[in-house]
Amino acid sequence: MTIDKNDPKHIIADEGKVFKRKSDGFIYGEGIYLGYTYYIGGKKLDEPHLEVVEDFEEIDEPQDEE
């Protein structure tokens, strides 16, 4: 994982990896901008959550099934 030198809220996954949110398993792409989220697991939060790097893990990019 790389943190963008010009914007520390922008994290970039390593080659062939994507980000998955640990709390609900939602799979993001290879780059995300950290900020407030209002929903987790399809449920509205009482208070917005400020995402941090530790909320995510890098996983191998899923292969499309045909």
Assess if residue 29 is contained within a domain: yes
Structural domain count of the chain? 1
Assess if residue 18 is contained within a domain: yes
**Residues 6+ positions from 25 with CB-CB distance below 8 Å:** none
Three-state DSSP at 53 gives helix
Are β-strands 43-50 and 10-12 bridged in parallel, bridged antiparallel, or unpaired? unpaired
- pTM of the entire predicted model: 0.84
CB atoms within 10 A of CB 19: 22
| pLDDT tens track, the chain, 66 positions | 999 999 999 999 999 999 999 999 999 999 999 999 999 999 999 999 999 999 999 999 988 766
- Point out which residues pair with 56 in neighbouring strands: 21
Q: Which of 17, 12, 10 is nearest to 34 (CA)?
A: 10
Assess if residue 66 is contained within a domain: no
